[in-house]
Amino acid sequence: MDKLIEQGKEMGLEGENLLKFVMAQQAIERDERAKEREAQRENEAKEKEAQRRHELEMEELKVRQAEIEYHKAKKEGTGDVKAKTPRLPSFMEGEEIDGYLLRFERFARANHWAEDTWASLLSALLTGKALDVYSRLSDAEAQDYDKVKEAILKRYELTEDGFRKKFRSEIPQEGEGPDQYIVRLSSYLNRWIELSGTSKTFEGVCDLIIQEQFLDLCPTDLAIHLRERKPKSLEELGKMSEQYLIAHGRGLFEGARPRNPSRTTGKSFNFQSNNNKPTNNNKPMVRQPPSASGKDPNAFPGKCFHCKEIGHVKADCPKLGTSPKTSMFAQGRYKFWDVDERSGEESKYSSRGVVNGRRVQMYRDTGSSMTYVNQKFVPQGCVPRDTVKVRLANGTVDTIPTARVKLEVGEDTRMMEVGVMNTPYPVLLGNDYEMACVATRAQTKKQEEAARRVAEDEKKTGVKASPIVPVGDGKETESKEEDCRSVNTDEKGAQPPRVFEVSPDVLRKQQRDDVSLQSAWKGCCE
């Protein structure tokens, strides 16, 4: 301000004019300072905006770089994707190990895991026998998924022949659609091809099928010889067969086996209508040396025990008409006659019954040593008691839980410990049911004859026979065990006679009065 006054005096201004000059100059200076401050604020804002844009661009670059690295790692199967922990449930004993491994492989491919990490990731999910197998492998084998998988499948007896039999014999499961069944069959076929070491080409698959057909139809001893040596090609198969036949001095036709529809399912049992006894159709053929008379003991006599004609056996006798020749397996499929589907002899393997209060169709399996119930008929609150190992018809061994259920067959009611399986049938009554669930006409006739003799004895002796009553309070309990009664009876409703108790005095009197025992009494007295 002093400078402005001095400048005004120098300009000759005084009084009011000097004051106006000073105020005008001060206003000018204020405006200039305001403009400077405004310009400074604008510059600072521009600098901040430029800094913000720079930071934003850097962040965008970082994001792009991260995306590039992620896609690269995802494509190559390395980086963070490799270290991801599987979100699969652990394998539990009782599950199908081949199905679990298939699910693991699909999950691993969907998540783009590197195949060299599959073995270690699978080990975190294994339990029981599968974990024992993995822990016994060497360090090098434990890192190879194919070797780990092969070792586990062998432990569960799922070998090349096991998958072949599954492919030939498995039937659709309850609730399984066509697409699901096709996928399951495809997995069995792929595993059969992989374990056999066959290349997945048209020629390789053709060789595998031809080899299977040859082994099924050639003589049994030759088939065993070839299976032991595992020829890798049809040419090698032919050479081995030729050498074996030359060494044994016979031709391929001698001992050749006709196509058995049940051969593809492994061991098969035929239930004949006359005795209900299972007969194994796959007994090994033993060739005997020629006899001194020159007759070949291996030649089949060809005499039918039914019509006594030569040229066929009883099982193929045309005079049997429609007499059933039922087999548990036929063309690789289970075959059980339904009660409403067939009548007469063929209905004796099935009957209506009740399991845990639910009415179901029950089937008699005379080739099984245990009774099996479908898992959906076992209440959820019924905790499985123990587990048992069972060998299935296709040769595989499975571990299944057991449970105690209430079975009602005909007039018989009992609590039984059964195997729990996802079978295509509600109940399969095995040989542990104590009696075959069939009462033939001959059995019924014997029962009526026994009852008639008892009635005659009652008239002669005047003693009324009374049935044996178990010691106890007389109350019925669900857990009591009784002999299995017949499911099927004839029109008269005949039942097996009960066991009667007879006092010692009555027994002695009946023995003395029995004319057929007089000679025995005389022999004892002498």
Answer for the pair 462, 389: CB distance below 8 angstroms, yes or no. Answer: no
Would residue 93 count as lying in a domain?
A: no
- CATH number at 371 reads 2.40.70.10
Instruction: Measure CA 124 to chain center.
Output: 23
Q: What is the pLDDT of residues 245-271, one digit of tens each?
A: 888 888 887 766 665 444 444 443 343
- Write the CB contacts of 125 (distance below 8 Å, at least 6 apart in sequence): 86, 88, 89, 90, 91, 104
Answer for the pair 327, 365: CB distance below 8 angstroms, yes or no. Answer: no
Write down the pLDDT at residue 161.
Answer: 83
Would residue 90 count as lying in a domain?
A: no
Q: What is the pLDDT of residues 410-440, one digit of tens each?
A: 778 888 888 888 888 889 888 887 653 444 5
Would residue 429 count as lying in a domain?
A: yes
Would residue 137 count as lying in a domain?
A: no
Would residue 407 count as lying in a domain?
A: yes
In the chain, count H helices and then E strands. Answer: 15, 13
Give me the number of domains the chain comprises. Answer: 2
Q: How far apart are CA 436 and CA 276, in angstroms?
A: 9
Residue 94 burial (CB count, 10 A)? 14
Would residue 274 count as lying in a domain?
A: no
Minimum mean pLDDT among 103-107, 285-289, 447-451: which range? 285-289
Q: What is the pLDDT of residues 77-134, one digit of tens each?
A: 544 444 455 578 888 887 888 888 888 998 888 888 888 899 989 998 898 888 999 9
Q: How far apart are CA 199 and CA 195, in angstroms?
A: 10
Q: Which of 338, 334, 426, 342 is nearest to 377 (CA)?
A: 426
Would residue 46 count as lying in a domain?
A: yes
Q: How far apart are CA 514 and CA 512, in angstroms?
A: 6
Residue 248 burial (CB count, 10 A)? 15
Write down the pLDDT at residue 145.
Answer: 93
Instruction: Give the domain range for residue 434.
Output: 336-466+476-499
Angle at CA 18, nearest 5°, toward 17 and 23? 100
- Beta strand 427-429 pairing with 372-374: antiparallel
Most confident of 45-54, 253-262, 264-273, 382-391: 45-54
Write down the pLDDT at residue 481.
Answer: 38
Q: Is the pLDDT of residue 475 over 50?
A: no
Q: Would you list the DSSP string of 318-360?
A: GGGTT----BSEETTEE----TTT--GGGGGGEEEEEETTEEE
Would residue 172 count as lying in a domain?
A: no
What is the per-residue burial (b if ≥16 Cβ within 10 Å, else e) of 463-483? bebeeeeeeeeeeeeeeeeee
Minimum mean pLDDT among 6-10, 25-29, 149-153, 160-164: which range? 6-10
Pick from 42, 72, 102: which residue ends a domain? 72
Which CA distances in Å does 525 have to 418, 518, 519? 55, 11, 10
Write down the pLDDT at residue 365.
Answer: 83
Report yes or no on whether pTM surpasses 0.75: no
Average of per-residue pLDDT across 268-297:
42
Q: How confident is the model at residue 62 (pLDDT cuts 50, 70, 90)?
A: confident
Residue 227: enclosing H or E segment and its boundaries? Answer: helix 220-229
Per the structure block, which two tokens stand in for 241? Answer: 């067969």
Q: What percent of the chain has pLDDT over 90?
A: 3
Write down the pLDDT at residue 334.
Answer: 38
Answer for the pair 313, 304: CB distance below 8 angstroms, yes or no. Answer: yes
Q: How far apart are CA 157 and CA 395, in angstroms?
A: 8
Of 190 and 343, the one with more pLDDT:
190
